[in-house]
Amino acid sequence: MLEDAETNALKSNQPEIPPLRLDGGDDSSEAESKVYLSDLGKGLGCVVQTRDGGYLAATNPLDTVVSRKDTPKLAMQLSKPLVLQTDKSINGFELFQRMASIGFEELCSQILSLMPLDELLGKTAEQVAFEGIASAIIQGRDKEGASSSAARTIAAVKTMATATSAGRKERISTGIWNVNEIPLTAEEILAFSLQKIEAMAIEALKIQSEMAEEEAPFDVSPLAGNASTDSGKDQNHPLASTISLEDWIKNYSLASPGNPATIAIAVVVQLRDPIRRYEAVGGPVVALVHATQADIEEDNYDEEKKFKVTSLHMGGMKARSGRKRNTWDSERQRLTAMHWLVEYGHGKTGKKGRHVLSKRQDLLWSISSRIMADMWLKPMRNPDVKFTE
C-alpha cells in the first residue's frame, strides 16, 4: 500500500507550458517539458508532504522557465499550519507585537514547539515524500482509516501543487500580481497564499543577511493584552489558544449567524537548498495569512465557512543585545542567506542594514503585503518590535 501511494498518488498535477501530461510518462519534445516549477524528484511533483504534516515545495524565485527534471534552485519547507482566531480589529503586525510581549526566548521556544520543522538535511525528496505518506497512513489508522488518511494527504498535496503554479506565467509576463478572489475554504487558504509566501521569503532572506534595501521606519514596543492570570501571563497572547487547522475545520468550519469569523493561518517557513542536500538557507520565519469570512446568505448557515485572504505577514527575530544567537538568528544563517542571494543575483545591497546594526536590543522584524482590488501589493517593511526581556 505504501509503495502504491508513493508511486501513484504523489504525482502532482502542476500545469506545464503547454499543459503537463498527467500519466507521468516522459515526453520526447523539449517544449513539452518546460515549466516554471521543477519536480522535487523522480516520480514526484513540485510539492510533497513531510512526515510532521507540513510541506516541502519547489520554488522559482528567479522566475525563469525550467525543465521538469531540473533540480530546483531553492525549496520551501512549511510547518503544519495552525489557526489563530483573531479579532477583526487586530492586523498581522499587531499580532507580532502581541507575540513579542512574552519575551525573546519564550517566543522562540513557543513558536518552534507549536510549529516544529522536520530536519531534512541529508534526505532526498523521494525519502521526504515517502515518510510523509507513510506517516499519514499510520496516524490515520486509528482515526479515519489508513486509506482515507492517505487520500486526504494526496488531495492536499495536489491542491498545493496546483496553487504554486496557478497564474504564475501571467504574473511573470505582465508584472501584475492578480489573484482570483473566489471565496476559499479554510483548507484552501494556505495553498492560495503559497506563491506570495515564496516571494516574501526571499525578502526575508535579505533582512536576515542584512542586505535589505528598505529599513524599518522606526521601533515600537510589544503590545500586551489586558487579561492575565495570577502568574502574570498574558491570556490574550496570540499563541495561547492556537488550534491545528485540522481540528478547526472539524469543530468550527460550519457557518453560523453572528459576527463573521476572522482567522490567521500561521506556519513556520524555512528555505532550503536542494543542491546542497537540503541545507537550510537563512533562518526560520513565521508567516501569518489573514482571512475574513465571506458574506453568508441567510439560508446557508449550515454550509462550510468561506473566506477571502486580505493580507500576508512574515516576521523573524534578530538577537542584538549580546545574547548568544539561537535557532532564529545565527551567523551561519546570515551567511547562508547572503551566499544564496549573491550566487543567484539577488545580492544587491542597499543601505545594508545600518539602522539595524546600530541597535543593541533584540528585535522582531516583519514585512506585510495586502490584497487590494484583487491584486497583491508590494511587501512593505513594518516597524521593528523591541523585546523588553
Is residue 285 helix, strand or coil? strand
Instruction: Give the Å distances, CA to CA, from 84 to 96, 238, 288, 301, 341.
Output: 12, 7, 9, 22, 32
Percent of the residues in the chain that have a pLDDT greater than 70, as a whole number: 78
Residue in the structure block whose three cell numbers are 534595501 = 213
User: What cell was used for 174?
Assistant: 505582465
CA 369 to centroid of chain Cα atoms: 14
Is 344 in contact with 352 (CB distance < 8 Å)? no
pLDDT digits (tens, 9 = 90+) for 164-210: 999 999 999 999 999 987 899 999 999 999 999 999 999 999 999 99
pLDDT tens across 310-354, in order?
Answer: 999 999 999 876 666 677 888 889 999 999 999 988 766 544 444
Half-sphere exposure of 281 (CA within 13 A, CB side): 27
- Determine whether 109 is exposed, middle or buried from the number of CB atoms within 10 Å of its CB (0-12, 13-18, 19+): middle
Q: Per-domain residue ranges for the chain? A: 2-386
Q: Are the C-beta atoms of residues 383 and 218 closer than 8 Å to each other?
A: yes
Which of 167, 185, 193 minimizes the C-alpha distance to 249? 185
Looking at residue 8, the DSSP 8-state letter turns out to be I
For residue 191, give every residue at least 6 positions away whose Cβ sits within 8 Å of its Cβ, in sequence order, or none. 159, 160, 162, 163
- Express each pLDDT in 89-138 by its tens digit: 788 899 999 999 999 989 999 999 999 999 999 999 999 999 998 888 88
Q: How do beta strands 375-376 and 363-372 pair?
A: antiparallel
* Chain position carrying cell 469569523: 261
Separation between Cα atoms, residue 92 and residue 368, nearest integer Å: 8
DSSP string covering 215-284: --S-EE-----S-B-TT--BTT-TTTT-EEHHHHHHHH-B--SSSPPEEEEEEEEEEEEGGGTTEEEEEE
Task: Please compute the mean of the pLDDT values over residues 70-89 and round it to a whole number.
Answer: 90
Compare 148 and 117 and report the one with higher pLDDT.
117
pTM as predicted: 0.86
